[in-house]
Structure 1
Amino acid sequence: MDSRLNDSVLRRRLLRGAGAALGASIVLPRWAHAQAAPGGPAVPPSTITQPPRDFSARGAPTTYFTDPDVLTVDPAFDGLRQPNAPIQRLWTGALWSEGPAWNSVGRFLVWSDIPNNRQLRWSEDDGHVSVFRAPSNNSNGNSFDYQGRQLSCEHLTRRVVRYELDGSATVLASSFNGKRLNSPNDIVPHPDGSYWFTDPPYGAQLYEGTVDAAGGPANKAGRLNPKLGQPPEIGSYRRELPTAVYRLDKSGTLTQVAGEDLVPDPNGLCFSPDFKKLYVVSTGQGPGDTIAGGKGDMHVFDVGTDNKLHNGKLFSNFMIDGVKCGPDGVRADVDGNLWCSSNAGRSVGYSGVTVWTPQGRLIGRIRLPEVCGNVCFGGPKRNRLFMAASQSLYAVYTATQGAAPA
């Protein structure tokens, strides 16, 4: 047995022994109580064990039939989790990972490292990670449309672009009604050739883009210089629009489908498998906001034949066991279940992924040692869930498939 495992078992035994000796005078944190029933078998290594599980290639293998950090909350999840499939950390070294998207033809994953102003690529054949595009204009959300073209939301330039099959780039949207977009965040394709994307203000900060020009809502005092370190054309933008969700049809016409009165600070979004519903995440107040901001929840709308949203309602407030598991990115599987990234802050064991039925019932969780920003399904069979989490990229095989191109 690995000496580290021996040490871990010994520490747990000492902890249990100390707790028994001191009785109620010791108050253990919630995660410690959750590790195992008294007198039960040894606890699998997980995100909440002490010392924490090592997800790297140097860490001990997961020898248990089901990964201890893939949790069934409702029996409905048992048919979606893949037995004997471990969570793997594929790579680490980013500053803030976002926007994972799977390329089916090239069999690689592309994702954004926003503060480092680059896109990264993980190749399935050998697990190699390389810089895919730099600079990326602080890109955030990525996707591939039904023709295999990459779509990217750029914070720095406050626009949406498409990379054509010949290698050229097309600016799809940069303004609405003559006013510059805020900072497009996430984008999804529709079979009718349209693209739907969100436009919150999170890119109007030095770390993930650039602030407004002097006097703008995100730089009112004008002390910050938005031109420093940027190409000459950058630095003149200032926030002009409220946050919103947009639809860009294949003719190039841009339409607002939801304003901040319906979904303040819209972030991640996805369609149901039949494209009759649109799910939109609403996150907290952003730079230059004059509104209270979102509440870290998700809303669902019916998509009418007129491509307008109807019957909006709250899908979930993402309170789990009294912990706010704030969503960011979301993807649907073929049965319409929603796989949502989770940001639980310092609540150890609640960051990662939460899984919900189309009716809004929590059925499963995936625990990661880092806050998760976004997810997508990929792999040749589209049955592998990729998780862009803070500084790292994780993956786990599932027993289902993603509903649409990622």
Structure 2
Amino acid sequence: MTKEFSMSRRRALGAIGASGAGFALASAAAAQEAGSAPVPPSTVTDPPRDFGPNGAPNVYFWDPDVIAVDPAFNGLAQPNAPVERLWTGALWAEGPAWSGVGKYLVFSDIPNNCQYRYLSEDGHVSVFRQPSNNSNGNSFDYQGRQLSCEHLTRRVVRYELDGSVTILADNFEGQPFNSPNDVVAHPDGSYWFTDPPYGGQLYEGAPDAPGGPSNPNGLLDVTLGQPPEVGSAQREMPTAVYRIGPDGTVTRVVEEEGAPDPNGLAFSPDQSRLYVASTGKGPGDQGPGGGGNIFVFDIANGQATNGRLFSDCMVDDVKCGPDGLSVDVYGNVWSSSNAGRNVGYNGVTCWSPEGALLGRIRLPEVCGNVCFGGPKRNRLFMAASQSLYAVYTATQGSGPA
């Protein structure tokens, strides 16, 4: 190939690229002038990206789906680390939690009634616990014991080091919980968990017994495919956040008015703050439900006070609904993002301790929950719809899981 031909070919390709970019900008401008939102793309990257292990290389420096909104995010993201799809095959992946001793990640597939384990040594994923009672959120306490929130049995359990199981909480003042969702440990020996209604459906647990809010006409047979003891519970309480004290006493620490439909939760590094994701309306909700916001509360002496809005999770006028939360050692809040059909906004958002958007990670699936893990706790794991993703960062997660 002659030098002249090479130069001409390069100019032609450049002109084609500029023309395509100009057309895209003109189309977007025309859509805005017409008063309609532009149609979201079918993929988050262009050309379409293959996340699989056999896909062609697509990251050379700064993964195109790791986006710094604020320059400060460049100090948290790892410039030469790609977003990886580690595994796919779930119906709704949730609740990732890292075992520092075992060097594995546990995560839930709620509809499949299963917990999976991902091994960091070779990337192997296998069934860890089945049935899991439609478990959702998982975490590890400061003694390395796994905590799980079970939709089907409406309870929070702890897996002891000898292999036995302890029921930490299954009711409040004699009334069954709605469907415990996420749980975190506090250094004082307490456990804090959320109780929204999302497990009150056929897909992720069991609806109420006939006459309950999620089965008012009794048309759903909640006993089908379930153990014989399942089917008698009805939703009796509003949504709330609870604390299990070191002595086993359960107290309600955040009322529904403070954080309706509470979902994911996480403590600040010094445990002086509690962040709570208030997601959308769930089955059986009689009121307006959550609005897709993150709230923050001050924590002292086992109480949560001074609740206030931390973020409305709006990005470019798109609602990036929060679900699971994790906090890094600098106090930044990493939230899973459910933007629905607004493709390109699903994934993860990262917020400063003051609530400013620092950056985000785009995924081709809705993200349900996140956690930091890996031997150095600098790898962000993302449970997203049918798949498990991960990306190395330049920060570390705060807390044991």
**TM-score w.r.t. structure 2 length?**
0.91
Q: Is the 8 A contact 1:296 1:318 kept in 2?
A: yes
SS, match of residue 221 in structure 2: coil
Deviation at 1:312, TM superposition (A): 1.0
In 2, the alpha carbon distance for the partners of 1:318 and 1:17 equals 35
Shift of residue 57, structure 1, vs aligned partner: 1.2
Q: In 2, distance between residues paired with 1:242 and 1:384?
A: 36
Quote the sequence identity (%). 67
Amino acid at match of 1:391: Q
- In the alignment, which of 181, 191, 200 is matched to residue 204 of structure 1? 200
Give the Cα separation in 1 of the matches to 2:166 and 2:198: 23
Task: Determine the C-alpha separation between the residues in 2 that align with 1:171 and 1:363.
Answer: 39
The one of 127, 130, 147 equivalent to 1:131 is: 127
The one-letter amino acid of 1:334's match is V
For residues 178-206 of structure 1, give each alpha carbon's deviation from its aligned partner in whole angstroms, at most 9, with x where no partner exists.
00011000000001110000000100000
Q: What's the CA shift for 1:66?
A: 1.3
Q: Where does the alignment leave 5 or more consecutive residues of structure 1 unmatched?
A: 1-9, 36-45
Q: SS of the counterpart of 1:329?
A: strand
* Mapped contact 2:159–2:165 kept (Cα < 8 A): yes
1:348 matched to 2:355: no
Q: 2:104 aligns with which of 88, 105, 108?
A: 108
Determine the structure 1 residue equivalent to 2:167: 171
Give the alignment of 1:199-238 within 5 angstroms.
199-238=195-234
Q: What is aligned with 1:267? A: 263
Secondary structure, aligned partner of 1:300: strand
Q: Is 1:182–2:178 an aligned residue pair?
A: yes
Verify: 1:393 aligned to 2:388, yes or no: yes
Please say if residues 32 and 49 of structure 1, whose CA atoms lie closer than 8 Å, have aligned partners that are also in contact: no
Aligned equivalent of 1:383:
378
Give the aligned residue type for 1:326: G
Structure 1 pair 33–192 and aligned structure 2 pair: CA distance change class (3 A): same
- What is the match of residue 152 of structure 1? 148
1:74 aligns with 2:43: no
Matched residue SS, 1:77: helix
Tell me which moved more, 11-20 or 372-381.
Answer: 11-20
In structure 2, the residue matched to 1:49 is 45
CA contact (8 A) 2:369 2:382 kept: yes
Deviations 1:225-246 (A, max 9, x none): 0000000000111101111000
Per-residue deviation, 1:62:
2.9
Look up the equivalent residue of 1:254 and give its one-letter code: V
Q: Pick from 363, 369, 376: which aligns with 1:374? A: 369
Q: Distance in 1 between matches of 2:40 and 2:71?
A: 19
SS at match of 2:292: strand
**Offset of residue 386 of structure 1:** 0.3
Give 1:60 deviation, angstroms: 1.4
What does residue 8 of structure 2 align with? none
Q: Residue 146 of structure 1 aligns to a residue in which SS?
A: coil
Report the aligned-residue RMSD. Answer: 2.4
**CA distance in 2: counterparts of 1:345 and 1:186, whole angstroms:** 21
* 1:56–1:261 distance in 2 versus 1, CA, 3 Å: same
Q: CA deviation at 1:291?
A: 1.1
1:75 Cα deviation after fit? 1.1
Q: Does 1:360 align with 2:355?
A: yes
Q: Could you say what secondary structure the match of 1:295 adopts?
A: coil
2:238 counterpart residue number: 242
Structure 1-normalised TM-score? Answer: 0.90
User: What residue number does 1:95 align with?
Assistant: 91
Please tell me whether residue 326 in structure 1 is matched to residue 321 in structure 2: yes
Give distance in 2, aligned partners of 1:80 and 1:26.
31
The structure 2 residue matched to 1:143, chosen from 132, 139, 144, is 139
Cα separation, 2, equivalents of 1:241 and 1:60: 51
Q: Distance in 1 between matches of 2:28 and 2:274?
A: 48
Counterpart amino acid of 1:53? R
Count residues in correspondence.
386
Instruction: In structure 2, give the amino acid aligned to 1:314.
Output: L
Q: 1:39: which partner in 2?
A: none
Quote the offset at 1:27 in angstroms. Answer: 6.7
Q: Which residue of 1 aligns with 2:58?
A: 62
Structure 2: how far apart are the matches of 1:63 and 1:324?
Answer: 28
